[in-house]
Amino acid sequence: MARWQPHAPERLLVAALELFEERGYDNTTVIAITERAGLTKSTFFRHFPDKREVLFGGGAMSELLVDGIETAPAEVGPLEAVAHALDAIGRKAFTSDRREFSARRSAVIAATPELREREALKELGLIASMIDALKRRGVPDLTSRVAAELGALAWRIAYERWRDATNRDDFAELARRTLTEVRAAGALC
């Protein structure tokens, strides 16, 4: 086996998803994942702390959100800064070629309590990252929390809609539209 091979995290993710679908999460080992990917156990742990994390991309999503909020124009409000972050995610992470893969990933997560728990914890971490990024922009604490929570809700709904095989909308556009819907629904409460 070669010492270094390109695209190790992606290869490990694909191998893990295939094995989780074939054998189930509980019946899949890190060794099986690395063998399927043609990599070593040490390579796996260089990229992921455990087999659950392989489906969650480390801190990449958090980095995209924070960067999106930080690079939003200075004059925009908190919710528009969150929308800017959702745009960044759409351009970099939720491209049309990832739609089917995302639907498969979601099905594996839905079938596994341990993965559902990890997904919930990851979402809380993403919300905290958005709150911190908004506060660094000078947004008050409560406003930062509300904007981040609304952004997370819009993201979750947009993601569900986006990964539907019948949907062909661009994620960024869909997320912005959903954020507008969520904001309007909140005004009705």
Q: What is the mean pLDDT of each run of 10 residues along the chain (189 residues)?
A: 69 96 97 96 93 84 94 96 93 86 94 95 95 98 96 95 88 93 88
Residue 3 belongs to a domain:
no
E strand or H helix that includes residue 62: helix 60-70
pLDDT score recorded for residue 1: 46
Residue 119 belongs to a domain:
yes
Q: Which domain holds residue 90?
A: 56-188
pLDDT score recorded for residue 131: 98
Residue 46 belongs to domain with CATH number: 1.10.10.60
Query: CB count, 10 Å around CB of 76?
Result: 14
Give the tokens for residue 75. 């004059």
- Are 162 and 94 in contact by the 8 Å Cβ rule? The answer is yes
pLDDT score recorded for residue 2: 47
124 vs 130: CA distance, rounded Å: 10
The structure's pTM equals 0.87
> What is the total count of domains within the chain?
2
- Chosen domain end from 20, 35, 51: 51
131 vs 163: CA distance, rounded Å: 26
pLDDT score recorded for residue 92: 87
